[in-house]
Structure 1
Amino acid sequence: MVIKTVCGSGLGSSLLVEMNVKSVLDSLGVEYESVEHTNVSSFDGRGVDYVVVGADIAPVLEFPEERKIVLVNILSKQELTEKLKKVLNIN
């Protein structure tokens, strides 16, 4: 599984979300190929299974909606955990 985290500039916030995604996936015991951060203008969705993005960027990011994990609060590990579990069908 390949996941990209995307923010406006591709630096601070998407890196923080990348680290949180890795932490949550590890705690859930979910294997993944890679989790990487980028900015919205450099984003390339080819070969990407899921995108984790803030609600502010989600409307402009061209990627299938059903594979977008949209966070209202990008700092909330609880929100991230709930949304990853839902999209990955983990109870």
Structure 2
Amino acid sequence: MKILAVCGFGVGSSMLLKMTAEKAVKELDINAEVENTDLSTAQATPADLYLTSAELKTELVHSVNAPVYSVKKFMDKEEVKQCLMDFRTKSNQND
């Protein structure tokens, strides 16, 4: 599975979100590659799941073909774990 952590410039906050997502993925024993990127690159990069801020979710959701979850606190591992568990539950329902 490929997860993209997305922020406006692909440097600061997306890197924090990537690091948090990597910890959450490990704890949930999910086989995933987590990358961070900027909004315009994310719009052109296929992934299974996108994590971003509420402000960028609106733009991103209309330009990608995978679920987009907004995260309020990029360093909150429990919030990111909840997004991942919700994604996994919905993915399993669609199988």
TM-score scaled by structure 2? 0.81
- The structure that is helix-richer by fraction is 2
Q: Distance in 2 between matches of 1:25 and 1:40?
A: 22
What are the residue-to-residue correspondences of 1:2-81 with 2, within 5 Å? 2-32=2-32, 34-43=33-42, 44-46=44-46, 48-61=47-60, 62-64=63-65, 67-81=67-81
For 1:16, the aligned partner's letter is L
Report the Cα offset of residue 69 of structure 1: 1.6
SS of 1:56's partner is helix
SS of 2:55's partner is coil
Q: Unaligned stretches of 5+ in structure 1?
A: none
Report the Cα offset of residue 45 of structure 1: 3.1
CA deviations on 1:39-80 (whole Å, 9 max, x unpaired) are 01222232x11101111111111224x611211222322211
Q: Distance in 2 between matches of 1:53 and 1:38?
A: 10
Q: Distance in 2 between matches of 1:3 and 1:22?
A: 10
Report the Cα offset of residue 15 of structure 1: 0.6
* Identical positions, percent: 26
